[in-house]
Amino acid sequence: MTWLQVILDTESTKVDEISDALMAIGSISITWLDAKDQPLYEPSLDTTPLWKHTRIIALFEDEIDIAQLQLLNLPAYQIQTLEDKEWVRVWMEDFQPMQFGEQVWICPSWQNPPIPEAIILDPGLAFGTGTHSTTALCLKWLDKQKNLANKTVIDYGCGSGILAITAAKLGAKHVWAVDNDPQALEATENNSKNNQVEKLITPILPDQLPTNIKVDYILANILAIPLINLAYSLTQHLNSKAKIILSGILQEQTTSIITAYQSHCEIEETKEQDGWMLIVGKKVNQFKL
């Protein structure tokens, strides 16, 4: 079967309107991509996160009447014809093994793992595959730890489970993978099985996480506002001298995050990548003044 792919670039304010119009004339899928290599910043709660310049890719069956496109008053667009096999090949070729630091590799299942310990994670089955700067910062930090043998971890906002699985692969004794989205927990469970670490990872909703659990590391790759709101409750799960790794933070939000956590943690490290920050705090004695 042959498919038609319509590709166009537009401002974020026009994305919904154009996408709806394309769906109305028969598009079977719409993909939004970054058109200008921009970081995707934190949206307000009532908005869809989009880049200022967004690329829309609409997929149609080849029976579509192309004349309908001309009636939509679209920005300049191009049309590509793809065979079934070519469509799959083009999509799969976009995803190659990725290295983070010295020993952490993320690899799609259809590629040959560069090392036996590579984490197998497929795009489309996951909420995060390491391509976003916030996830990459966390993966590089984990890689620097070299060995998490006998350590316990909470991955808060686990999504695909990529950080939980990495921690388990690096030797963690047990990881609690926490997310308020049941689909994320299902993805984490499936991905942990695919990486043979399911016995080391417990996917769990936030309100099911026992209050008495104390761990050596907390990884929280979410967004700034939830991180601020969770400062007290997250740090209550830290052992003495344990560390909390915070990400999903814009560079200009760094001061707000540090202010929220500095009464609970000694800030040890900050890292920046593409306008996003990673902040590492170490548990301080609760009696410290």
Sequence spans of domains, the chain:
2-93, 128-283
Note the pLDDT of residue 242: 96
Helix (H, G, I), strand (E, B) or coil at 53: strand
For 137-188, what is each residue's pLDDT tens digit? Answer: 999 999 999 779 999 999 999 988 999 999 999 999 999 999 998 888 998 9
Q: Which residue has the higher pLDDT, 242 or 285?
A: 242
Is the domain spanning 2-93 CATH 3.30.70.260? The answer is yes
Instruction: Find, among 250, 191, 212, the residue nearest to 39 by Cα.
Output: 250
Its pTM surpasses 0.75: no
Residue 209 reports pLDDT greater than 90: yes
Residue 221 reports pLDDT greater than 80: yes
| DSSP secondary structure string for all residues of 227-268 | HHHTHHHHHTTEEEEEEEEEEEEEGGGHHHHHHHHTTTEEEE
Give, in degrees to the nearest 5, the angle at Cα 160 between 110 and 211. 150
Give, in degrees to the nearest 5, the angle at Cα 93 between 30 and 77. 40
The per-residue pLDDT of the chain, averaged, comes to: 85
DSSP state of 205: -
For 78-114, what is each residue's pLDDT tens digit? Answer: 998 876 655 555 556 667 888 999 999 999 888 888 9
Pick the CATH number of 128-283 from 3.30.565.10, 1.10.1740.110, 3.40.50.300, 3.40.50.150: 3.40.50.150
Instruction: Find, among 132, 124, 128, the residue nearest to 34 by Cα.
Output: 132
Q: Which residue intervals of 25-132 are DSSP H helices? A: 67-70, 84-93
Least confident span in 52-56, 81-85, 241-245: 81-85
Burial grade of 45 (CB within 10 A; 0-12, 13-18, 19 or more): exposed
Q: E strands, 122-223, where?
A: 152-156, 174-178, 201-204, 215-221
- What CA–CA distance (Å, rounded) separates 134 from 138? 7
